[in-house]
Structures are given as structure tokens and as C-alpha cells.
Amino acid sequence: MKDIELKLENSNIKPHEIIKAKIQVNYPGRYDGVVVNTQILNSNQLIVYRSYNNKTISQNVSRLFINKNDMPQNSAEFTASIEFEPKETHDVKFRASIIQEHKEIESDILFAKLIV
């Protein structure tokens, strides 16, 4: 069992479609929260985070931090979207990391495809 596990509902992403993901933390030690970073490879574009645990995110953020206090049963769900029209298919890298006192403890990485 991994200390942190990131799962996407669908690994084929289309522009303007809602991306749904779940994070499960199994880390036995103390931690402050998790951070999610996403990179659209070979592109300068960003993902727009929409919500986490049914809380709407009002401003555009390039990194999503979820406090441990907002993670019942050490899990969280988030939604995001990609708001540009790609001219080609891109790989999208998702990385969720456990954070304790501003340091990364463990992480999980997933790849998805942004399809045209």
C-alpha cells in the first residue's frame, strides 16, 4: 500500500471537460496536507482547479493545497478542467504530494492524455 495514492476517474481528458480525481493518504505519520501539481507536457498552458471535497475554488490556482483538516478519512476528491483548445495530443502529468512542515514526504505521479 502506497503512502499516498492518486486516482483519476478517466485518463483521457478532453478540453472543457471536468476532470475528477481522488487522493487517498495512508501515511502513518503526521502531515499538514497534500499538494497537487499538474503539468501539461510540451505546453505553457495550465489546468484550472474547480473544487475539492465539494468546496468551490474561486480563484485560479496553479497548485492545489488541501489541508489535512479538510480531508475526512485521510482522503480528498478534486475537480479541474483544461480551458484551451489543443492543436495536438498532450501528456498530462499529475503529482500529489504529502506535505509536512513545508517539506515533501511522499508523492504519487499519474499520466493522462489530453486528446484533441
**Confidence band, pLDDT 50/70/90 cuts, at residue 60:** confident
CA angle 54–57–58, rounded 5-degree value = 135
Place of cell 500500500: 1
Q: Cell numbers for 73, please give them.
A: 478519512
Structure confidence at residue 9 as a pLDDT band (50, 70, 90): very high
Return all residues near 56 (Cβ < 8 A) that are at least 6 apart. Answer: 50
Alpha-helix residue ranges (DSSP H) falling in the chain: none
According to DSSP, the β-strands at 75-82 and 12-13 are unpaired
Pick the closest to residue 46 from 9, 8, 86, 10 (CA basis): 86
Question: What are 71-115's pLDDT values in tens digits?
Answer: 999 999 999 999 999 999 999 999 999 999 999 999 999 999 999
Q: What is the pLDDT of residue 116?
A: 86
Looking at residue 1, its pLDDT comes to 84
pLDDT of residue 56: 94
Instruction: Go through the domains of the chain in sequence order and give each one's CATH number.
Output: 4-114 (2.60.40.10)
CA distance 64 to 78: 9
pTM of the model: 0.92
What are the pLDDT digits (tens) for 63-77? Answer: 999 999 999 999 999
Q: Give pLDDT tens digits for 28-41.
A: 999 999 999 999 99
Q: What is the pLDDT of residue 99?
A: 98
The SS3 assignment for 30 reads coil
- Cell 492518486 belongs to 6
